[in-house]
Amino acid sequence: MYEYICSGEISGTNICQYSGKENPYLEQSVDDRTRDLTQLIEEKYLSSGKFFRKADFARIAQFYTLDVISDVAFGAPLGFLERLGL
């Protein structure tokens, strides 16, 4: 079902990493959400010479992360970045 890659030992515990091989769309999902992130920043937060727009990148990064995780896990983003752009 899930494939894990275990490597090395730190303080007597194995470190296992999730490889994601059963999801053939993993990279495409991350790419799509990254495209959404850059589009949001360009459309809503890009400053001009006369106008400065503030962006709380910590909040934006949280929404980006949630959209990536939901897209990878469920096949579709929850739409946090989309709602943030409204």
The percent of residues above 90 in pLDDT, for the chain, comes to: 51
pLDDT for the residue 22: 76
Residue 48 falls within a domain, yes or no?
A: yes
Answer whether residue 73 shows pLDDT above 70.
yes
pLDDT for the residue 25: 87
Distance between CA atoms of 7 and 29, rounded to whole angstroms? 26
Distance between CA atoms of 14 and 21, rounded to whole angstroms? 20
Distance between CA atoms of 60 and 78, rounded to whole angstroms? 14
Report the predicted TM-score, pTM, of the whole model to 2 decimal places: 0.73
Dihedral angle at the C-alpha atoms of 14, 17, 18, 21, nearest 10 degrees? -110
Q: How many domains does the chain have?
A: 1
Residue 10 falls within a domain, yes or no?
A: no
Where in the sequence is the domain holding 51, given as residue range(s)? 24-84
pLDDT tens per residue across span 10-38: 545 555 566 667 778 889 999 999 999 99
The percent of residues above 70 in pLDDT, for the chain, comes to: 76
